[in-house]
Each structure stands twice: as structure tokens, then as C-alpha cells.
Structure 1
Amino acid sequence: MSALGKEVADTLARRRAGGPLSLTVDEVDKILSGLGVPLRGAKAVPVPLRATRMHFSGTKWLKPDHPDAQGHPLVDVADLPAWIRPVVDELSPTAGSDGDGPAPDIDEQVGPKARVPFRFEWSPQPGVNGIGSGRNLRGKSTLLNVLMWSLTGRCPQFQNDVRSWIEHVEVDWAVGAEQLRVKFDAVNGVATGQVVRVTEVDSDIRSTVLGQFDGADFEGVMGSLMMTRLRLENIPVWTDTAARVHAWPAYSSSFVVRAKQLDPIVGNEQTIGVRMMQMFIGTDWAPVQAAAMTARRGMDKARSAANDKAQAAGDAVEASRSAAEKQVEDLRAKIEKLPAGTPDVQVMLNAATRASDLAREVHGLEAKLIAQTSLAGTARQQLKAVRAQVHTTYEDALAARFFHHMRPSVCPRCAAQVTPERQAAEPDKHECSVCTSELNLDALQADVIVAASVPDELVAGLVAGTSGGDGVGGDAEDGPLDEVEAAQAAVTAAEAAVAELTAEIAALTEQRDGAASRVDVGSELLSAASERRALELDLARAEGAVGALTRSSDPATVDPVDPVQLAVVDAAEQVLKKWVRSDQDPMLARISADIERLTQSFGAENLSGFTLTGAANMALRENGVKQKYSGLTDGEKLRVKIATAIALIRHGYVEGIGRHPGFLVLDSPSAEEMPEEDLATMVKALWDVAGEAEMQIFVATRNAAPLVDLLPKANRVVAEGNSYVW
């Protein structure tokens, strides 16, 4: 039976919404345990963490003209072992860089290299330790990176050259009363080594291996060893999709304050700023509250996912129902547009037979019409020919009469004069007065002038044509005129036959088209009846689908969350929230006062009225005006964040609570517009705070003067001028 279970059971019993939920304390404890919620708060007692010795060694590969290369042998890259050759080919020429140097030129990566062994050893002290240099890129950050590499198990972002130079690392850590040594060999940033416990028995140093690692498992080994020894608890947090447990990487990253990483105000993980603050403040129930909130959010996510799934199913059903309703409407509209009536199949067949017979008759008549039309054309041609012949005969008679009665006065060819004497001599001399040809005497007696050489039959015709005076074509034309009348009669008869056939064909065609139309109407009705049957079947199916989808339009949502478990965890979250707040609020007030005092001692005297809230937010005043941490400049943020970290450490050690191990690294605080006098003020304030509470602080800065002036020699590593830190 736990105190938390009892309070949750009492809370559930008091609730009236839907009736009280009666659960025993044991039942509540069982539910909470099953959800991963601890039943008891953990007393937070800080365990100090201190670096007591750091050593690293290796080989620098420098250009021959580098100052540190003097007196060291030159080695051609081709003569190096195979494993180091690619690394040396990529090296930059800097020595002990901070990882911010420019990438080397290609020309600087070729040729011989000077092999320069190095070894660095230092024993940091309690309190404030300073690492400084007169210039940038002199190896300050390398010391911090090696320190944190041994602590976290994760290789930092070294410059390529520095990462490959470091070949062996040893760092001794004091974890409470226990001495741990982390030692490993490194090949281009990949560590292989072990963690040992170092004990002294009768002046005899003994080592016990606690863990071994080879590459990627280094971080896991350090996490498993440090979390238990520092009494740090996992921080469960619900992300957007799943629960996530933050452990050693999140804690160890919060031990470092970098000028380039100032958010959030506590730690360096934005999503767990509140949890990190609660862990470091030291409220007993903070870890339990984190577990309860994570369990509750997991239930909310499961329920939300179920609702989303049901909603998606409902939307799909609604879409299907709308589609089915539209299909019903479309089918009904198509049925209404179909012609009404039922076709008489026998009538349709009789009409088809009649149309076929009439078509055959029309075809036969059209053949006759073609023949008759051809005969009529022939008759017309014959009539035209007869008329032309009659016309020619008539014109010849007229011409003969005209020309034979002419009395030319000149020759039509040579224009010689035809004298009256020659004309008068024609009867006597029997010759033409124009051409002097001998005349036909018989024709001359009939007053027809024609040469004796002209054939008799032609002469007879001329004589006959000129006889009878003006009666051209009299009885002599009776024969031709009969031929014209006969031809005209033939044409008339042929055209009458064509007209009769055409009329008969038109009448039969009309009858055939009528029969075909009756067949078409019957076919349309028959097709419409078949289509109607198919559409009515489709309509029945669509109406059935609408009915089924209407009944299932609201799919039942299956709640994946046990309502009893939800009620228990909800009540536990409310209880724990109240307990944490009651413990935390007085502490936050005292911590806020420390933050204000420290921030002002760091040179930010314009900031006041600090209030660190339970949500890990900071409210304050800047020159008397309300302000938030997010609204400060980076230089002000840096001072406030350092002050917050130190206040949390001081609070834990002064009051004997909290989980912060008192280890803090400040990387390049002067990078954010902090003048040397403000840095000196900060270092002095840090030294004073470290004297009040047990802690170890490392400060790396380019402004080395305050470190030299304020820190004992054992507490500092300073490279002056152009010198390197290591």
C-alpha cells in the first residue's frame, strides 16, 4: 500500500461525475505499476562528480615549415601504415585547433609530413578551473572535448586533424567516494577501451574493470555506469508519436553551457527542459509525475488514434453513401428518359417482311427505269438526228435556188468582169458566163444553170428543187416530215413510260419506308425494354447499398483505453502535480533569488525581478520593464543560463537535495560580447560560489588575463601569446 495509491483511491472516491469509482489502494497500486508509474518518490541526494586527472597523447602530423615541426623527422605519406595514410592525406596543417578552423587547401595535404609526438597531462582542481589562450584556435576546446568524450562516451566534433592525432586518453573521475578511470585508445575518433574502478589498499593501487567498449557501445557503457552512481533517473517523455526515455546523453549534455547553444534555459534538450529542471531541483515526486504524464499522454494518443481511425472509417462510409445516392439518382433519371410502351414483336416482324418485299419490288422497278430511261435517251437522239437532216435538206434547196438564180457581174475568184454580152450568150453558146463551163441544156431549159459535168441525179434534184416557185419543201418534204413525227412519237412514249415507272417507284418507296419506320420503333422499344430491365437491377443494387451504408454511417469507436486505468492515471497526475508544486514552488523562489544575484554579479545589473516558473520559463524585468528569457540578447541569455545552472547546483548542495552532480563546463563565454572586465567579474563570482558550495566548473576562454589574475596556477591551463595549450 503506497501513499500515492491511497491518495489516488481517495480522489477517485470523491469524484461524482458518472458516479464514484471505488477501487482499493492495492488495486490502484497494481494499475499504476502496470503503467510504469513508480509508487514512491525518490529522495534526491546529489552525488558529486569531479574530474581529477586528464591525460591524452598521440602524434601530430604537421607541415615541414610549421614552428612545432622543427627537429622532428619528416615522413612521406606513402611510407606510413595503411590505416593512417588516408587520415594524414586529409589533415589540415593547424595544431591544437578548436574545431572552428578553415578546411585545408588541397596543396597543403600533399608532400612529406613532420611526425611530432605529443603528451598532455593535467590534474583539475575542485572549484573553478580555467583554460585560456592569447588567440583562438590554440586547443582550448580540445581539452573540454576530451574531458566530455571520456564522460559521455560520445566523440565530440573535433577538427579532422585533432581527431586523428589523439591516440590514447585517460581521465580519472571522482564519483562520490568512488574513483573511476576511463581509458581508451582511439583511431580517428573510434574509441576502444575500458572503465575501471581504482582503489588504494595499503599503498597498493588496484583496478577493477567495470565495463569495456569497442566503438559505438562506449556511450552505452558510460550511461549504465554513471546513471546509477549519480542516482539519476530516466526521464520519460511523450513525443508526437511515442514515449521516449531520456537518460545519460540528455543529462551529460546539460553539464555544458555553450555560447552557441543558449536555449532552453535548463539543459540543452528543448523538449525536456521542464523535466530536467524538476530533476535538478530535487522534488521527490518529479520522476513519478513524469512517468504518470507519459502514461496519460500514451493513453490520449491511443484514444486519439482510435478516434481518427473511426473518423476515417465514418468519412469513408459517408463518401460511399453519397456516391451510392448519386448513383440512385442517375439511374432513376435514365429510366425516366426511356420511351414508354411494350413492343409487339409479331407486328414488328410483319413490318420487316413487308419492308423487305417492297425493297425487292423497288429494286426491280429501278432496273426497268434505268432501261426505259436509256430508251428515251436513244429516241431523243434519233429525233434530233432526223430534225437535223430535214433542216440540212431545206437549207440546201434554199441555197441552190438562191445561187442558181444569181447573175454575178464579176468572177468571185479573180474579180474579172462578167459582161452582159457573155451572160446573153449563155443560151446560145451553152457555156457559163462566169467559168465558161459547158451547160446542161436540159437543165437550162428549166432555167437551172448547171455544168454538163454535174451528175444527172444531182441535176435532177436541183431541177426538182427549183421547180414550183416559192414552195420550198412542198410535197417533196412529206417523207422527212413523217420521220420527224415518228421520232417525236417514240420520244413521247418513252418519257411517259419513265414517268410511270418513277411514280410507281416513289409509291413503293414510301410504303417501304413506312414499314421500316414501324420496324425501327419496335426495335427502339425492344432495346429500351432490355435497357430498362438492366437499369432497374442496377437501381435495386444501389438502393440496397444506400440502405446498408445509412445503417453503418456512424461506425462504433472501440476505445482502446481502459476507462478504469485512465481514471487512475488521471487522478495520479493531478495528485502528483499538486505534490510537486507544493514542494517545488518554495524552492523556485529561492533559486530565482540566487539567479538574480548571480546574473547581476556577472555584469548584467540591468536585469532584475527574476522568476523561474515550474514550466522552466523565466520572467524578469529589464531596466524595470517586463521581459522574458527569449527576448534577451545572446550575451544576456548566456549570463542568465550560467547563473541558472549554478543556482541549481548551489541549491542542491546547500540544502542537500537535487540531482545535479555539481559539474559544469562553460565553453567560450566571452564569445557573446562579454568584455574582459565582465568576464573577470564572472570568474570572480564563480570562484566565490564554488567556495560556498562544492562544485567543479571549467571555463574555456580566449581572454586568458582574468584566469591568470584570479585562479591559482593548479586551477588553470593558459597558453599566452601565440603558444598552444597542448
Structure 2
Amino acid sequence: MSVLGNEVVGILAKRRKGGPLVLSVEEVDEILRGLGVPLLGTKAVPVPLRATRIHFKGTKWLDPRRAEAQGCPLVDAADLPVWVRLAEDNRTPLMGSASAGAAPETDQPAGTKARVPFQFEWSPQPGVNGIGSGRNLRGKSTLLNVLMWSLTGRCPQFQNDVRGWIEHVEVGWQVGAEQLRVEFDAVNGVATGRVVSVTEVASVARTTVLGQFDGADFEGVMGSLMMTRLRLENIPVWADTAARVHAWPAYSSSFVVRANQLDPIVGNEQTIGVRMMQMFIGTDWAPVQAAAMTARRGMETARAAAKDKAQAAGEAIEASRKAAAKAVQDVQTKIADLPTETPDMRVMLEAANHASDLSREVHRLEGRLIAQQSLAETTRQQLKAVKARAHTRYEDALAARFFHHMRPSVCPRCAAQVTPERQAAEPDKHECSVCASDLNLEALQSDVIVAASVPHEIAAGLIAETSRDDSEDDGAGEEPRDEIEAAQAAVTAAETAVAGLTTEIAELTRQRDAAAARAEAGGELLAAASDRRTLELDLARAEGALAALTQSSNPRAVDPVDSVELAVVDAAEQVLKKWVKKDQGPMLVQISADIERLTRSFGADNLSGFTLNGAANMALLENGVDQSYSGLTDGEKLRVKIATAIALIRHGYVEGIGRHPGFLVLDSPSAEEMPLEDFDIMVKALQDVAAEAKMQIFVATRNAAPLVEHLPKANRVVAEGNSYVW
């Protein structure tokens, strides 16, 4: 029987909502075990973690114009490693490449690189270790990245060229009393190697392989080895809709404080800031509380998901009800729009037959109409021709009469005078007074002037025309008029026949259309009757579906959570929350005081009244005004975050509790608005804290002067001027 189970039984027995729940301690323990909640708290004892040796080597591929490359062998572009060629193709600048105009022109072929081997080795010491340089981009962060690469198993964010330069790494670690060595070869950031335990027997080093890795499994190997040796426990949390377990990556990331990553105040994982703080403070029941909270949130999420599912199903049924009701209404509307008359089949068929007969008669008459219209057109053309011939004869007669009765006074050709004597002599001399040609005596008797040389037929015709003209003048010549009148009568008769046929066709068409309309109306009524039968069937089906949906009730949520289990884990969380708060309350007071002392020693004299609460939130005063951690400037945040990390470590080591291994990396702390004098104060303060709490702290900065002034030579690696750290 567990203490936790006994407390839970007491709470359940006093429960008001839902009535008391009577369970035995054994039953409660069984339920908690089944939910993955430990029954006992674990005493947290810090295990020291220290880096004892850093060694890495490789090859730099530099521009031949750089001073560092002088005297080194040159390699043509085609013989360069693949990653170097890719960097050149993508125009990726290599670290430390000469700036434009800074180096003299050379006659080296484009793409040629100098092969510069390098190696670095350093044995960091306990306490504060400094890495400095006179300028940026001189390899400080690379050294820290190599250190953390060997610890976490995850390749950091190197520059592309530097990641490819590093070919072999060896880092020695002391974990408690055990010596470990992480050694691996690297190809453009992909590590292959092993972790060995090193022991000395009679001054002879012996190694035992603890784990091997090849690429992606490096992080898993380091996590499994370090979590057990540092006595760190998994941190279960509920994120969104699933339980997640944070382990070595979350812990190892909290060992590093970077100037560009200041939230949250504890660690670097926003979602587990509270859990990380509880783990490092060393509260015995913190891991159990995390497990209980994760189990309870999982149950609540499952219950909420079931409720949402039932609600969605109910909404779907309601939507189906509305759709069914609308379908009934739509069918009823369509039925109401149909005509109510019943078609008379006999009348409809008689009208259809009559319309058919009339159509045939119209067709026949239309044929006759076409023939009659053609005949009328022909008679009109004939009338036009008769009139044209009569007109021509009339004009010819007028011309003959005009010209033969002319008495010209001059010759139309030579303009010689035609004397009256010559004109008077025509009947006697029988010759033309104009051309002196002999005249036709027979024609002359008819008062027709024509030469004797003109053929007889023409002369006779002229005589006849003249005679006809005279007779016409006397009212004779009825034949042409008869011909025209006959043609006109034919035209009138034809047009009368056309008009009669047109009238008859129009009447028959009207009768046919009326009969067809009667037949069509009957057909529409027949179709409407058919549609009505179909719609009535549809209405019956729609009403049946609506009735079924109306009678059915909305689905109820099937609770996937055992209410007894939820009650047990909820009660356990209440107990654990109270225990954790009771244990960490006094500790948080001490830690808050340490944070304030350290922050002020780092140069932030304007900050005071620090209070770190159980939710990992920081309240404080800034110049006497209430402030929070999130409201501070980045420079102030950096000081407070470093102070918080050190206070948690110091608390654990001074009190002999907690889970922080006392290893801390500060990357470029002076980058955030920290004057040189404040950084100098911070270095001295870090030395005091490290000596008191037996920590190992790495500080990388461009302000190297405080490192040289305050740190022993063995505790620092400093590149002065334009030099490089490695």
C-alpha cells in the first residue's frame, strides 16, 4: 500500500460531487499503476557532469590568397570533396574567405582551393572556462558546438563550410565518478563512432564500448547513456491531443543559454518550463505529478473527443431532419403547382386526328398555291411582253411617219440648200429633193418618200405602216388592245386564284392549330397526371424518412473514460500538487533570493524583489515598479536567465538535491547590451558561484579581456587580434 494511494482513498471518501467513492488503497494503487503514475516519489541527487578534454581535427579548404593558406598544397576544383564543390556551385561563402579587395590578385585557376589541415585540443578545467577572440567569426561558437554535439548526439547549426571541415572528434566526459569518451568520424555533419567507458587499472587505461552509432542513432545512444547516469527522469506532458515524453534533448538543451534564445526563463522548451524547473529543484513528487497530470489530461481529451463526436453526429441528424422536411415541402409545392383537371382521352384523340387531316389538306393546297403562283407570274411576264411589243410598234410608226413626212431644207451631209423648186419637182421628176435618187412611184402615190433602189419588201412595209398610222388616227387598230386585255385578264384570273387559295390555306391552318392546341392541352394534362403519380410516390417516401428521423433521438456520447479511474487520478493530482507546492515553496524563496543576488552582481542594479513561482513565472520590481520577466529588455532577460540557471544549480548542490548536473554553457552573453565592465563583473561572479557549487561553466565571448584577466591560463582559450580560436 502506498502513501499516495492512502491519501487518494481519503479524498474519494469525502467527495461530494457524485457521492463518496469507496475504494481500497490496493485498488487505487492498481489503477494508478495501470495509468502509468508512479506510486513513490524519487529522491533527486545531482550527478556532476564535466567535460575533461576536447579534441577535433579536419581540413580547411581556403582561398589560396589567404595568408593562412600560404605554402599549403592547392587542389583543382575537379578534385575537391563533393561538399566543397557544391558550396562553390551554390556560391556559398566559406568561413574566413577574404573580403573583396582585401587580397592581391593571383593567377590561380577559378575554383582552386588550398588544403589546410588543422587540429585543436584543449582540456577544460572545473569552474569557469572562457573562449574568447578579438573579432567575431573566429571559431568560438564552433568549439561550443563540437562540445554539445558530442554530448547531445545532435549535429548543431554549423556554418556549411565548417560542418564539412570537421572530420574527427574526441570529447572526454566525467559523469559522476565514471570517465566516458565520445569519439566519431564525421562526413559533412554525419557522425559515425562510439562511446566508451575509460578506466585505469595499474596506470593502464582500459576501454569498454558502451554504445555505437552511425548517423541518426547518435542522439538515441547519448540519451540512453546519459539519462540513466545523470539519474534524470522522463518528463511526460500532454500537448494538444497527445501525450509526449521529453527526455535527453530537452534536458541537454537547458544546459545552454544563448543570447538569441531567452524564453522561457528555465530551459529552452516553452511547453515544459514548469516541469523542467521542478526537476531541477529536486522535488521528490514532481515526476509523479507530471505523470498524473498527463494521465488526467489524456482522459479529459478522450472524453471531450467522444462528446464532440456525439455532438457532431447529433448535428448531422438534425441537418438530415431539416433536409427531409424541406424535401417534403418541395414535393408538396410541386404537386400544388400541377393542374387539377382530368384529361378526356376521346376528345384529345379526335382533336389530334382532325389536326392531322387538316395538316394534309393544307399541304395539298399549298402545292396548288405554288403552281398557281407560278402561273400568275407567267401571265404577268406575258402581259409585260405584249405591252412592250405594242409600244415598239407604236414608236416605229411614229418614227416612219415623222421621217417620211420631213421636208429637209439642207442636206444632212453636205449642208447644201434644198430649194423649194427641187421639192416641188419631186412629183414630176420622180427624184428625191435631197439626194436626187429615183423615187418609188407606188410609194409616192401613198405619200411615202422612198428610193426606187430600196427593196420592194421594205418599201411595202413602209407603205403599210403609213397606212396603219392613218387608220389609227381614224380610230382603227383594235387587235393590239385585244391582246393586252387578254393578257391582263389572264393575270387577274391567276391572282384571284392565288388569293383564294391563300385565304383557304389560312383558314385551314387556323383550324389545324386549334385542333392541335386541344390535343396538346390534353397531352399536358396527361403528363401532369403522370407527374402527379410520381410526385405522390416521392412525397410518401419523403414523409416516411422525415417520420423516421423525427422519432429517432440524438445519439448520446459513449464515455470512453472509466469515471472511477478519472476520479482516482484527479484526486491523486490534487494530492501531488499540494505535496509539490509544500516541498518547493521554501526552495523557491531561497532560489528567488539567489537569483536577485546574482542578477544584481551581473550589473542589473535596477532589478529587485524577485519571486519565482511554481508556474515558472518570474515577478520582480524594476526601479520599484512591478515587472515581469517577459517585460524585460533582452539584456536584462539574459542576466536574469543566467542567474536563474546558476541559482537552480547552486541550490541543488548546496542542498544535495535536484537533478541539474552542474554543467552550463553561456554563448555570447555580452552580445545583448552588456557593457564591458558589467561582463567583467559577471565573470568574477561566475567564478565565485562555480567555486561554491562545484560547477563547470563555459563562456564564449568577443570581449576576451575579462577572460584573460580573471581566468587561469588552463581555463581559457583566447584568440587575440585577427587570430582564430582553432
Q: Identify the residue that residue 616 of structure 1 maps to in structure 2.
A: 616
SS in 2 for 1:615: coil
Alpha-carbon spacing, 1:115–1:590, altered in 2? closer, same or farther (3 Å): closer
- Pair 1:122-2:111 in alignment: no
Residue type of the partner of 1:110?
Answer: T
- Pair 1:299-2:319 in alignment: no
Give the Å deviation of 1:659.
1.2
Residue type of the partner of 2:360?
Answer: R
Pairing of 1:435-584 with structure 2 (within 5 A) = 472-473=474-475, 500-550=500-550, 554-584=554-584
Rounded Cα–Cα distance in structure 1 between residues aligned with 2:145 and 2:402: 145
Q: Identify the residue that residue 58 of structure 1 maps to in structure 2.
A: 57
Residue type of the partner of 2:614?
Answer: G
Rounded Cα–Cα distance in structure 2 between residues aligned with 1:650 and 1:37: 30
- Pair 1:149-2:146 in alignment: no
Task: Indicate if the aligned counterparts of 1:401 and 1:466 stay in contact, CA closer than 8 A.
Answer: no
The number of residue pairs the alignment matches comes to 701
Rounded Cα–Cα distance in structure 1 between residues aligned with 2:724 and 2:398: 148
Rounded Cα–Cα distance in structure 1 between residues aligned with 2:688 and 2:423: 178
Task: Indicate if the aligned counterparts of 1:283 and 1:583 stay in contact, CA closer than 8 A.
Answer: yes
Residue type of the partner of 1:113?
Answer: R
Q: Identify the residue that residue 347 of structure 1 maps to in structure 2.
A: 347
CA deviation profile, 1:426-453 (whole Å, cap 9, x unmatched): 7xx7989989968779x98xxx757899
Alpha-carbon spacing, 1:717–1:347, altered in 2? closer, same or farther (3 Å): same
Task: Indicate if the aligned counterparts of 1:12 and 1:571 stay in contact, CA closer than 8 A.
Answer: yes
Task: Indicate if the aligned counterparts of 1:77 and 1:88 stay in contact, CA closer than 8 A.
Answer: no
Q: Identify the residue that residue 91 of structure 2 maps to in structure 1.
A: none
Task: Indicate if the aligned counterparts of 1:56 and 1:169 stay in contact, CA closer than 8 A.
Answer: yes
Q: Identify the residue that residue 95 of structure 1 maps to in structure 2.
A: none
Residue type of the partner of 1:54?
Answer: R
CA deviation profile, 1:156-188 (whole Å, cap 9, x unmatched): 344556555555544443323333333444455
Rounded Cα–Cα distance in structure 2 between residues aligned with 1:6 and 1:671: 54
SS in 2 for 1:650: helix
Give the Å deviation of 1:596.
0.5
Give the Å deviation of 1:508.
3.2
Give the Å deviation of 1:355.
2.0
CA deviation profile, 1:663-722 (whole Å, cap 9, x unmatched): 222223222232332222222222222333332223333333333433344444445555
Task: Indicate if the aligned counterparts of 1:422 and 1:433 stay in contact, CA closer than 8 A.
Answer: no
Task: Indicate if the aligned counterparts of 2:448 and 2:462 stay in contact, CA closer than 8 A.
Answer: no
Q: Calculate the TM-score normalised by the size of structure 2.
A: 0.81
CA deviation profile, 1:254-283 (whole Å, cap 9, x unmatched): 112222222211111122111100111111
Q: Identify the residue that residue 636 of structure 2 maps to in structure 1.
A: 636
Rounded Cα–Cα distance in structure 2 between residues aligned with 1:314 and 1:103: 71
Q: Identify the residue that residue 103 of structure 2 maps to in structure 1.
A: none
Task: Indicate if the aligned counterparts of 1:32 and 1:569 stay in contact, CA closer than 8 A.
Answer: yes
Rounded Cα–Cα distance in structure 1 between residues aligned with 2:390 and 2:156: 131
More off after superposition, 492-501 vs 41-50: 492-501
Select 1:113's aligned residue among 92, 99, 115: 115
Q: Identify the residue that residue 26 of structure 1 maps to in structure 2.
A: 26
Structure 2: segments with no counterpart, 5+ residues: 89-93, 101-107
Give the Å deviation of 1:287.
0.9
Alpha-carbon spacing, 1:418–1:325, altered in 2? closer, same or farther (3 Å): farther
Task: Indicate if the aligned counterparts of 1:664 and 1:697 stay in contact, CA closer than 8 A.
Answer: yes
More off after superposition, 342-351 vs 431-440: 431-440
Rounded Cα–Cα distance in structure 2 between residues aligned with 1:492 and 1:711: 138
More off after superposition, 346-355 vs 104-113: 104-113
Residue type of the partner of 1:58?
Answer: K
Of all paired residues, the percent bearing the same amino acid is 69
Pairing of 1:63-462 with structure 2 (within 5 A) = 74-77=72-75, 85-86=81-82, 110-115=112-117, 118=119, 120-125=121-126, 127-159=127-159, 163=163, 166-200=166-200, 205-371=205-371, 416=418
Residue type of the partner of 2:673?
Answer: E
More off after superposition, 284-293 vs 549-558: 549-558
Give the Å deviation of 1:640.
0.8
Rounded Cα–Cα distance in structure 2 between residues aligned with 1:466 and 1:183: 149
Give the Å deviation of 1:515.
1.9
CA deviation profile, 1:83-127 (whole Å, cap 9, x unmatched): x944676899xxxxxx985699998962443445x45242513x3
Rounded Cα–Cα distance in structure 2 between residues aligned with 1:167 and 1:487: 123
Q: Identify the residue that residue 675 of structure 2 maps to in structure 1.
A: 675
Rounded Cα–Cα distance in structure 1 between residues aligned with 2:30 and 2:38: 11
Give the Å deviation of 1:24.
2.9
CA deviation profile, 1:286-331 (whole Å, cap 9, x unmatched): 1111112222222333334334444444555555555555554444
Give the Å deviation of 1:57.
4.6
Rounded Cα–Cα distance in structure 2 between residues aligned with 1:576 and 1:397: 144
Task: Indicate if the aligned counterparts of 1:54 and 1:147 stay in contact, CA closer than 8 A.
Answer: no
Residue type of the partner of 1:512?
Answer: R
Residue type of the partner of 2:297?
Answer: R
SS in 2 for 1:273: helix
Give the Å deviation of 1:505.
3.8
CA deviation profile, 1:36-86 (whole Å, cap 9, x unmatched): 1112221222222233x204153554767766678xx84454799x9x944
Q: Identify the residue that residue 105 of structure 2 maps to in structure 1.
A: none
Task: Indicate if the aligned counterparts of 1:439 and 1:449 stay in contact, CA closer than 8 A.
Answer: no
Q: Calculate the TM-score normalised by the size of structure 1.
A: 0.81
Residue type of the partner of 2:112?
Answer: V
Alpha-carbon spacing, 1:624–1:422, altered in 2? closer, same or farther (3 Å): same
Rounded Cα–Cα distance in structure 2 between residues aligned with 1:725 and 1:16: 68
Rounded Cα–Cα distance in structure 2 between residues aligned with 1:724 and 1:356: 111
Rounded Cα–Cα distance in structure 2 between residues aligned with 1:185 and 1:480: 132
Task: Indicate if the aligned counterparts of 1:707 and 1:716 stay in contact, CA closer than 8 A.
Answer: yes
Task: Indicate if the aligned counterparts of 2:66 and 2:97 stay in contact, CA closer than 8 A.
Answer: no
Alpha-carbon spacing, 1:494–1:227, altered in 2? closer, same or farther (3 Å): closer
CA RMSD of the aligned region, Å?
4.6
SS in 2 for 1:620: strand
CA deviation profile, 1:502-556 (whole Å, cap 9, x unmatched): 5544443333232222222222222333333344444444444444555568444
Structure 1: segments with no counterpart, 5+ residues: 93-98
Task: Indicate if the aligned counterparts of 1:77 and 1:89 stay in contact, CA closer than 8 A.
Answer: no
Task: Indicate if the aligned counterparts of 1:607 and 1:620 stay in contact, CA closer than 8 A.
Answer: yes
Residue type of the partner of 1:122?
Answer: S
SS in 1 for 2:195: strand
CA deviation profile, 1:179-219 (whole Å, cap 9, x unmatched): 33334444554444433334445656544433333333232
Q: Identify the residue that residue 655 of structure 2 maps to in structure 1.
A: 655
Rounded Cα–Cα distance in structure 2 between residues aligned with 1:299 and 1:592: 35
SS in 1 for 2:265: coil
Residue type of the partner of 1:149?
Answer: W
Alpha-carbon spacing, 1:577–1:392, altered in 2? closer, same or farther (3 Å): closer
Task: Indicate if the aligned counterparts of 2:65 and 2:98 stay in contact, CA closer than 8 A.
Answer: no
Alpha-carbon spacing, 1:265–1:102, altered in 2? closer, same or farther (3 Å): farther
Rounded Cα–Cα distance in structure 1 between residues aligned with 2:514 and 2:68: 118
More off after superposition, 714-723 vs 525-534: 714-723
Alpha-carbon spacing, 1:403–1:277, altered in 2? closer, same or farther (3 Å): closer
